[in-house]
Amino acid sequence: MIAAVETYLAVRRAVGFTLSNTEYLLRSFAEFATDQKQTHIHTTTAIHWASQARSVAQRHVRYQTVRLFAQYLRAEDPRHESPPINYFGYRKTRRVPHIYSRDEIADLVLAATRLPSPASLRPKTYATLISLLAATGLRVSEALHLLVSDITPDGLLIRKTKFQKTRLVPLHDTAVTGLARYLTHRQATRSADAHVFVSDDGQPLVYWKVHSMFRSLLKSAGIKPSHGRWPRIHELRHTFAVRALESSPTGRQRIGQHMLALATYLGHVNINTTYWYLETTPELLRDIAVVAESFVQGVQP
């Protein structure tokens, strides 16, 4: 079965997947099955192996990994069993995101501009990074991987990111102006690195340092923990999505079209991920409830 694992990984990696965790899990399963003298996938074996994980979420990941592998193998050899969907009954839960107010975003940017060493690039780097995330809804990793050459007259070229997709993100005129202003200051570092966001030594920013700095900026801006947890920089993306839905100019009746456009803009592979944003604000949920009630009563909204 090890040979089948190698072939499966090679096929999927050929289309852009990294699969580091998948490789680890499938090798472990193959060894487990081989120890039991099995050359084909059996559902009971997959369940037994997956059940060794401590949490339901981990069991689900292990089980789902084998299930996808089994589907691939079964296409050529029906002796492989196809484990049923969601055997462990796992349902992913998400923490309630912090939706930043416009004042909070402005305070974060202001706090960044007031970082020590105002003559250095650091205050401008973090102020621009936060502004760009808030204005575009980019993933933090996407912003940190931006190259100067990715800034085009039509917007930002986001290359092969989380789901191996490339997309173009249009920019508002104010974002274009702010980014151009930052690049002027950035050129003064004379960094040979091609990344847009760099530190004072010319090296690209790394996520853990950005995360740590953002926590400091939250405190400087007077933003407190929400629901017992500190707001995250990634939630600027959530905020962008929610505000985009709230400000839809053609009305909520056409929410399906808005969701499809937003999913494309944000680079979501599954639109269910985008629909989750509907659950994050009372305003959106209230509108959904009104439309649903009208539908049940047979009243046109």
| Pair of tokens at residue 177 | 């102006």
Which of 67, 139, 186, 238 is flagged as catalytic?
Answer: 139
pLDDT at 110 over 80: yes
268 is known as an active-site residue: yes
With bands split at pLDDT 50, 70 and 90, how would you rate the model's confidence at 295?
A: low
Q: Report the range of poorest mean pLDDT among 50-64, 104-118, 161-175, 287-301.
A: 287-301
139 is known as an active-site residue: yes
138 within 8 A of 132, measured Cβ to Cβ: yes
With bands split at pLDDT 50, 70 and 90, how would you rate the model's confidence at 161?
A: low
Which of 237, 238, 258, 265 is flagged as catalytic?
Answer: 237
Which of 48, 162, 209, 229 is flagged as catalytic?
Answer: 162
Of the chain, the percentage scoring pLDDT greater than 70 comes to 80
102 is known as an active-site residue: no
pTM for this entry: 0.68
Residue (of 94, 98, 119, 96) closest to 108 by Cα position: 98
Which of 12, 40, 167, 234 is flagged as catalytic?
Answer: 234
Which of 98, 195, 238, 268 is flagged as catalytic?
Answer: 268
Give the sheet arrangement for strand 155-158, strand by strand. 151-152, 155-158, 167-169
With bands split at pLDDT 50, 70 and 90, how would you rate the model's confidence at 95?
A: confident
37 is known as an active-site residue: no
pLDDT at 300 over 80: no
Mean of per-residue pLDDT scores for the chain: 84
**pLDDT value of position 226:** 77
Domains of the chain: 2-74 (no CATH), 102-234 (1.10.443.10), 237-296 (no CATH)
Helix then strand then coil, % of the chain, to nearest 5: 55, 5, 40
Which of 8, 100, 126, 277 is flagged as catalytic?
Answer: 277
Beta bridge partners of 155: 152
237 is known as an active-site residue: yes
With bands split at pLDDT 50, 70 and 90, how would you rate the model's confidence at 273?
A: low
pLDDT at 262 over 80: no
